[in-house]
Amino acid sequence: MTLRNSTAAYEALKDRFNRLSALGGAQAVLHWDRATMMPEGGAAARAEQQAVLSLIAHETLTAPDTAELLAEAEDAASSLGEWDRANLAEMVRIHAHATATPADLVMRLSRQKSETEMIWRRARAANDYASLAPALDKLISLVREQAAAKAEALGLSPYDALLDSYDPGRRASDIDRLFAELEAFLPDLLREVMEHQASEAAPLVPEGPFPVARQEELGREVMRLMGFDFAHGRLDVSHHPFTGGVPDDSRITTRYDEADFTESLMAVIHETGHSLYERGLPAEWRGQPVGRARGMTIHESQSLLYEMQAARTEGFIAFLTPHFRAAFGGNGPAWEVDNILRHYRKVRPSLIRVQADEVTYPLHVMLRYRLERAMIAGDLEARDLPAAWNDGMQSLLGITPPDDASGCMQDIHWPSGSFGYFPTYTLGALAAAQLFAAAKQAEPGLEAALGQGDFAPLTRFVREKVHGIGARMTPDEIILHATGEPLGVSAFRRHINRRYLSK
């Protein structure tokens, strides 16, 4: 094979992946439309549209000439620059995942994901797990089928094959080691923090109601402070906060509670962290695999970096508090900075993952990790999930959900087919702690800037060390590059001790 032919093959692949990227963007926007604004009666039609788009993308990626082009292009790999070599390697990895899944399974999975997610929306609202279980059982069976096919093709265990889709190179053995280190100290640390907080006055709860329109405007104001570009994105409402779209067309959703403004605001900050990452990916590599986000551990590290690390600093809460008072007409002790700070840092076992404090949050994730591994292994069936969930909540957090809506039905992930995603939340929290510590060293004025509502120093750091890397490195290489240390639990433990125990 001549070098010229090999180079031409690589250029043809780049064109193909550009088209696939545009198709993926259309799918992302369709999913956002379905979740936020489209009538329920059209769900079946939209599910079919989504399935057809998935099939078109799969057929394009797995076409016989794609494999031929990849083989030809690899002959020219040594002549390519660093970014192009990484781009070609990503093409090979993506192609391997795609060819491992038969086309008919792609269609069946897409349809079942859409159907199960819509059933979940109704079932959760009605606290009716019995109506969800049959559809979830079908979906789990299809995910097992996909996991087995990928496992055989990639030489991995079924669960590792799913993990690799969300966090390239991640293995369950990595998670087991890190989670074991967390579990070795977290229960004792949780008790110590709770005892410490019990010795102080409980935070006062600001009295509502807090009109949704004012919560929304407050969220938009904070998004602007964070650098969100409303010319390239929007904020809407859905059952579950999420970020979708593409780097140049970002879609963020949250949900509101007129009795509590704090949840929606932190959800907006979290999702804006995701959006800033997408927006900061290398523009010159838009549409190419190397220009994509590098897996969900890195993605979650960016959202948690802003939500948990930066937005809960004393300086930023002090900056925000007058805005709270102005937005909701609050006054009195409940609206003082110290009380708002204690409200945002209150630690206690709770039922809902997205409302959990950062000390107990890893325990929520450990539960989901154990349950989804059991489901993929065939050791746990959908009908038995509520009981297994309740037992796990009692074991890890000492509380039992009063119903399935606040138990095993609270998250959208499993009904939408996302098995292997949950561990990245806690891995992302570990990475966020390391990144924030590194950012403070690299940007000495960072915390003072946050006290002025200025996120620029933090964003400048992650733009250079994380966002601008795209998928050129592995997730663990990015963390090592940005912080000087491999992913671990030490920075997270130091952070929790300093924030909650002042030591």
Q: Which residue type is seen at 417?
A: G
**Euclidean distance between the first and the last CA atom of the chain, given in angstroms as a whole number:** 63
244 in Cβ contact with 28 (< 8 Å): yes
Q: Output the CA torsion sign for 297, 300, 302, 306.
A: negative
Helix then strand count (H, E) for the chain reads 20, 3
- Residues composing the chain: 503
| Cβ-based neighbour number of residue 207 at 10 Å | 12
Q: Are 294 and 473 in contact (CB under 8 A)?
A: yes
Residue of 117, 263, 271, 358 marked active site: 271
* 464 a catalytic residue: no
For the record, the structure tokens of 1 come out as 């094979």
Query: H helices within 354-503, ranges in order?
Result: 361-377, 385-397, 423-442, 446-450, 456-465, 475-483, 490-501
CA torsion 449-450-453-455 (nearest 10°) is 80
- Chain centroid to CA 264: how far? 16
Residue 305 identity (one-letter amino acid): L
Backbone φ and ψ for 243, nearest 5 degrees, come out as -120, 135
- Encode burial over 363-387: b for 16+ CB neighbours within 10 A, e otherwise: bbbbbbbbbbbbbbeeebebeebbe
Residues 481, 462: Cα–Cα separation, whole Å: 11
- Looking at residue 260, the DSSP 8-state letter turns out to be B
Catalytic residues: 271
